[in-house]
A and B are shown apart, each in its own frame.
Chain A
């Protein structure tokens, strides 16, 4: 097998890929290894989305049980292990949020934050990691309402129908905002 020389920064990623491969082979200790390396990040994600420690802990358990069951479906050629795990955590947390019937109406502070974050200043973007900086830059190029809707869907699990109600616009309007935003986002990220 070709071994591409890895830089120092790549090493943790490679170790995580190897640990996931061992999990896929049924190695329970490797799952512990994955947990030690990633649980703080994934717990942060669950907590941000669910905003309830108990719920976030339940979600985190489900995430690692999924990792145990599904590690074989992780393809290191297609996604970084952290992306795969973070997406798993995000999706699991959103599922729980919906299952709980979303008792909260998004508080106005969060709504404002979704808008504010979409126009991060240049310094914040500079300090962010490369991938994050790219998506921040691209989101900041969208119109505020497009960016706000995309972020609300991503972090709060709102569907089109819910976003339309919250913004008090017809469903078709919301769809066209989001779709235009997504197309521009894709174009910007491919630049």
Chain B
């Protein structure tokens, strides 16, 4: 399914992704590629740079003078994101939108489920990093698949809450973490039903950081035989610090 396209095909795919021509599975696969393959991400950036001068034909328009104040207020509380290779996975535009929409409710429920400790720190202590819980919502374009994951650093475990998970006979869903600029690492199989807690091996734990991508692929029963995703990615999301 996700065969590696030859270079020419890849560059065209990067162009299609940069232009926003793709949808469905093709879009999801390109997105995972953009988040996991440095060369592909570079090709996307190359096309963006080629096309951007077209924007020069657009006339400048002064925005409402009050807008800057709104932005300042929005920025006032927000922490600066970590800067590690953020550029690739930042292209996850839809994910970001899904995140913005669902985050408040999700954050509240996951914080309760995963680590109330995070909010229990003595008020005098202000940690450098916000509370150590990383969460991601995974969704597909048409939201036919959705799930939420929360990583507990202290326990090195991942709480997986399946939302919608369409079962397919003879297939399993496999969860992956994709460090920025890295290759997918399996986190285990996920099935519809109640939330499950997966333990994360010490070797994999360092991948759990803000802005790593988490993706769900459809694999043969028992999981991918190759150790890398072989089936289509049906949902993906980005880890954020809660």
Q: Tell me the A residues contacting B by CB distance below 8 Å.
A: 24, 26, 28, 31-32, 35, 39-41, 43-45, 47-48, 56-57, 60-61, 64-65, 68-75, 78-80, 82-83, 86-87, 89-92, 94-95, 99, 117, 128-129, 131-132, 134-136, 139, 150-151, 153-155, 157-161, 163, 178-179, 182-183, 185-186, 189
Contacts and interface: CB of A to CB of B under 8 A. Distances in A.
A78 B21 CA distance: 24
A185 B49 CA distance: 13
B1 interface: no
Contacts, number: 155
B54 A135 contact: yes
B74 A43 contact: no
Given A35-B71, A69-B80, A159 B22 contact: yes
Q: Is the interface of A mostly helix, strand, loop or mixed?
A: helix
Given A182-B15, A183-B12, A151 B54 contact: yes
A68 B78 contact: yes
Q: Is the interface of B mostly helix, strand, loop or mixed?
A: helix
Contacts of B62: 39-40, 43
B23 interface: yes
A45 B218 CA distance: 39
Nearest to B55: A86
Contact of B81 (A43, A69, A87): A69
8 contacts: A39-B62, A43-B61, A61-B70, A61-B74, A79-B45, A91-B93, A132-B57, A185-B50
Interface string B183-227: 000000000000000000000000000000000000000000000
Nearest to B93: A95
A26 B80 contact: yes
Contacts of B74: 61, 65
Interface string B66-96: 0110111011101011110111001101100
A154 to B, nearest CB: 6
B71 A159 contact: no
Contacts of A136: 57
Contacts of A95: 93-94, 97
A131 B53 contact: yes
B67 A60 contact: yes
Given A65-B74, A73-B83, A160-B16, 10 more contacts: A65-B71, A69-B80, A70-B87, A72-B82, A87-B48, A91-B20, A132-B57, A151-B54, A155-B54, A179-B16
B11 to A, nearest CB: 8
